[in-house]
């Protein structure tokens, strides 16, 4: 997996956190750098932690299914991507302006569940996990912080587009992994 693939996965995974950050920025109205850092740390931290957990879970059975790993990676990424696109067309969730620990913890977990599955995929693909999760965490940190700012300035205008784009990126990366595994690319 190349750096471009990892960057696209990081952006794709961070789109849920970005969309939630836009909503938070909208609900907060007037924001500060503190709000941006809180969102970035929560969302970036969990986007880094979840694939790490998934990687270690996946490592236990990766060797047993090496022959089919590209199919599994494709299916996981395709299902996650399609789900993100589907969620973009569902009724909008109401978010409040709370930045309390429990609120942010629940949002961070909810927006990073898909990263757990990606971590399992990383185990199958034998990705160098520490640089990968640090990169994903940093990308999510910056996009979440930017989402707070964008939400406070532009509102919810970009939320659906962010989720659709993130979902499409995950599906396309899944297709690329499958084609690589089938020796088509």
Which pLDDT value is given to residue 180? 77
Which pLDDT value is given to residue 2? 83
Q: What is the CA radius of gyration of the chain?
A: 16
**Helices and strands (H, E) in the chain, number of each type:** 6, 0
Which pLDDT value is given to residue 109? 85
pLDDT tens column, 21-77: 887 887 787 889 999 999 999 999 999 999 999 999 888 776 666 667 678 777 877
Residue that is written with structure tokens 């299916």 in the block = 75
Query: What are 152's two structure tokens?
Result: 């406070």
Neighbours of 36 (CB within 10 A): 22
Which pLDDT value is given to residue 49? 96
Measured torsion, CA atoms of residues 62, 63, 68, 69, in degrees rounded to the nearest 10 = 40
* Residue closest to 80 by CA, chosen among 173, 161, 177: 173
* Residue closest to 123 by CA, chosen among 57, 45, 47: 57
Say which residues have a Cβ less than 8 Å from residue 149's Cβ, sequence separation at least 6: 25, 31, 36
- pLDDT-wise least confident of 6-15, 141-150, 167-176: 167-176
Q: Which of 18-27, 144-153, 159-168 has the highest mean pLDDT?
A: 144-153
- Mean pLDDT over residues 148-159, rounded? 74
Phi-psi domain of 164 (left: phi exceeds 0; alpha: psi -120 through 50; beta: other): alpha
- Mean pLDDT (the chain) is 82
Query: What are 87's two structure tokens?
Result: 């969620």
Which pLDDT value is given to residue 64? 67
Answer yes or no: are the C-beta atoms of 171 and 78 closer than 8 Å.
Answer: yes
**Dist CA 174 CA 109 (whole Å):** 23
Res 141 pLDDT > 70: yes
Instruction: Report residue 95's pLDDT band, with 50, 70 and 90 as the boundaries.
Output: low
Instruction: Report residue 100's pLDDT band, with 50, 70 and 90 as the boundaries.
Output: confident
The two most distant CA atoms of the chain are separated, in Å, by: 53
Query: What are 78's two structure tokens?
Result: 């395709």
* Residue closest to 104 by CA, chosen among 114, 96, 94, 116: 96
Phi (first) and psi of residue 108, to 5 degrees: -65, -40
Which pLDDT value is given to residue 107? 83
């Amino acid at each position: 997996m190349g750096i471009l693939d990892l960057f696209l996965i990081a952006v794709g995974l961070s789109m849920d956190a970005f969309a939630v950050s836009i909503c938070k920025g909208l609900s907060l109205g007037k924001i500060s750098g503190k709000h941006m850092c809180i969102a970035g740390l929560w969302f970036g931290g969990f986007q880094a932690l979840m694939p790490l957990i998934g990687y270690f879970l996946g490592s236990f059975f990766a060797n047993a299914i090496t022959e089919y790993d590209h199919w599994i990676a494709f299916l996981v990424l395709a299902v996650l991507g399609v789900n993100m696109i589907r969620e973009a067309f569902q009724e909008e969730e109401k978010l409040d302006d709370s930045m309390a620990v429990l609120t942010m913890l629940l949002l961070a977990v909810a927006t990073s569940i898909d990263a757990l599955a990606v971590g399992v995929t990383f185990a199958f693909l034998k990705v160098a996990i520490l640089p990968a999760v640090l990169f994903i965490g940093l990308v999510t940190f910056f996009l979440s912080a930017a989402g707070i700012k964008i939400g406070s300035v532009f509102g919810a205008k970009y939320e659906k587009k962010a989720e659709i784009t993130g979902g499409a990126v995950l599906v396309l990366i899944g297709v690329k992994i499958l084609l690589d595994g089938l020796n088509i690319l």
